[in-house]
Structure 1
């Protein structure tokens, strides 16, 4: 199907809505992200106690979609394919041309109504429940730093959970903003994925959690961040790679 310039669209799980002849008439944030808070009444105290764990609730994006009249016959023939496209039971990348510098992770909870499509109706709403953060496309690229020190600035105002790639051999010490981890038996590269909270061999992708010593995973705070690596016990530290995953609410 030909994609016509100028139409509004969304892209989900790597596929554009325009591939099915579906354009966007309107985008709405139908539920905004809110901090998770617990309000606890304390006997003998007038003011309730407010506790937050630093996390956010999911948010919702709704697209009112319409189909171009000349493409209705093709949509009619592809109803099952459209439903399968919008029905993976996992979070997938969701992006649109309203906000081209960012993307979200979402799952479609209000999928295409096949009855509406079969009646050739022009409009219906698709609801996506999303990770509360939206992520910068620019922050999803690998930044390479030659040498053993990297300084990186977080302009988004929210903590980011990066992938840190450490290049070298043997035992290496990784330090991010003063917090350190020891990485043992590095062959060529080892990756620390802070969002997934896992360590993998950078070449094979195999689990390498046993090679990491130290609690938690690196976090990139708002403002300047310093990442350093150094060889220990004869290890060699070469260079640093960072996928910062900049994000904001």
Structure 2
């Protein structure tokens, strides 16, 4: 027996039998055709959205008497018309891998068709996309980029070999933090300093700005990387003035595969502390966000277009390119700074 389930209640539990459904309906893309005098063909003006879709079930309700039928109809109306100010989950036995966001917002014309069997139409106003149940499950991503520390070193310029024996001076153990990518040696210092930002920066590159002390005696510069993946030395190259750079090891990515032809708007919970960053690389390019003062976690809802924690908005603590979207195909997640892990609900969708 076919059924649909709306707002947690199955149609079969209400005594409804489905005669038919518009199974293959699809939404309309919201655009306009504009005629221009003297120009062949119309211009297309797009609103970059799909319109809502009507999902329609033709049903009937069986009863042994008019009184029984009237009582069943009262229950059906109470079910369908309750909570009319927001979308609810709609599923059915025709398409068990997907659900829709729907609202019953039409009339229910049944009186003229009643005898002892009521035949009528139930029409739901639905958002254009249907969502896979798989995309409503969390995908856990553990950070790797922030999984190392680094030490900038002033090296013996007469030797090209990087080791502790050739090191003259060094900074303390450091961590990359958010959008800060350049360590600046303080004036007159032999190792103290603070983080700043070098722009335009190259991917996976760290920068060092030295002072007059560090430039003495034809010194050269290197960065020592260490962490759970091992220990590595990298020589630094001058990029202009007192600034030097080194390309860090390419981070290992965690990839989510969007199996559908449409981008999705995920819910993401970002775990960590302090300043950090999140980047997503897709076939369409790279998106990146930098976070200030994360306290345990931060929430991102791309459908609602908000950064928040519980009920507190955090939009003013985030900089970056809009809100995360997951493109068809591979989506590579790159975590930096104080971001340690993610919980991603991808919300895969299709028409």
Question: In which range does the TM-score fall when normalised by the shorter chain?
Answer: 0.7 to 0.9
Which residue number corresponds to residue 259 of structure 2?
155
Q: Deviations over 1:96-116 (max 9, x none)?
A: 000000111111133444636
CA distance in 1, matches of 2:331, 2:133: 20
CA distance in 1, matches of 2:289, 2:66: 57
Q: Which one is further off, 28-37 or 102-111?
A: 28-37
Q: Deviations over 1:88-143 (max 9, x none)?
A: 23221111000000111111133444636975433211111211111101111111
Which residue number corresponds to residue 89 of structure 2?
93
Which residue number corresponds to residue 323 of structure 2?
217
Which residue number corresponds to residue 297 of structure 2?
189
SS state at 1:46 partner? coil
Give me the CA root mean square deviation: 2.3
The answer to whether the 8 A contact 1:76-1:117 is kept is no
The answer to whether the 8 A contact 2:64-2:116 is kept is no
| Bigger CA radius of gyration | 2
Bigger relative contact order, structure 1 or 2 (CA pairs below 8 A, ≥6 apart): 1
CA distance in 1, matches of 2:34, 2:98: 37
Which ranges of structure 1 fall in alignment gaps of 5 or more residues?
Answer: 1-6
Question: 1:29 and 1:111, CA in 2 relative to 1: closer, same or farther beyond 3 A?
Answer: farther
Q: TM-score, normalised by structure 1?
A: 0.86
The answer to whether the 8 A contact 1:110-1:125 is kept is no
Aligned length: 237
The answer to whether the 8 A contact 2:278-2:339 is kept is no
Which residue number corresponds to residue 8 of structure 2?
14
**How far off is 1:75 after superposition?**
5.5
**How far off is 1:72 after superposition?**
8.2
Which residue number corresponds to residue 3 of structure 1?
none
SS state at 2:75 partner? helix
Q: TM-score, normalised by structure 2?
A: 0.62
The answer to whether the 8 A contact 2:66-2:115 is kept is no
The answer to whether the 8 A contact 2:65-2:116 is kept is no
Which residue number corresponds to residue 124 of structure 2?
128
The answer to whether the 8 A contact 1:76-1:120 is kept is no
Structure 1 ranges of 4+ moved more than 6 A: 70-73
